Structure 1
Amino acid sequence: MATIFITGANRGLGLEFVKQYAQQGHHVIACARHFTQATELSQLATLHSNIQLHELNVMDEDQISELTTVFKNQPIDVLIHNAGVGGFECEALGDMDQKGWLEVLTVNTVSPMLITQALLANILASKAKTIIGLTSILASIDDNNLWWSL
């Protein structure tokens, strides 16, 4: 069975990926910022011994760097970058600020690259060598009526 590493695993698509892969018997490394707030994920992990919980705030570069040590010599077949933020608090002119935009850019673009970098040896040591980046309609250039309110 494969080893699947999932960021943003506490709800939504991330949680569903954890459920599906765990039910198929894969080893799932499910990452979330705070497991005290990830009750459904924590309960799921008690039901499936093949789910490994790992606290990871994708805004914390030190935590990302530690992945290299924590998962040393463990092949990771599939890395799923699922953590993301919409940036709704800075979507309209007049509401934007640097802090909000930097959070959006860090979580959605910089952090996935840093996580990939930290886990590259793990991915290269696997059979599948798969990296998946998820997004939503918010990132669509063609079909996005939710963004850029004026």
Structure 2
Amino acid sequence: MENSQSLKGKQELKRSFPSKIRHGTKEKSPMEGVKLAAIAISLNVRLRSSDMPICMQEHALRCSRQLLDSAPKPRPNLTHLARAIKKEFDSAYGPAWHCVIGTSFGSFVTHSAGGFVYFSIDSLSILLFKTEVELVTEEKEGQRL
């Protein structure tokens, strides 16, 4: 009886918290999600949607907050902010990151698994995602570059 109750508790916990990162099989503990939530609150960030490992989400939130805080106060240049976040993620996690920042925009994007986060800081919304890149090494038969 005791084993069935502990099994029931574990199943309930699994329903409450996602058990796997989408792009891999690495288990993530409920405490990691709590830590990320605490970080988001401390940075005044609202996480909207994500398909990204928690460590990368934390990097995106901290990097964005730091860049926004160091930007000119009355009106930060959103193009410069987006470029800086994109370059940070290109250098840290490989090429083909894209960043959109604004107060009002719509989007529908296709992204690499484990490479998408959408959040807001103050009145700005930030969309950061990665796409796959295929290097073209030689001309394919019947196709021109």
Fold match (TM-score > 0.5): no
Structure number with bigger Rg:
2
TM-score of the two chains, using structure 2 as the length reference: 0.29
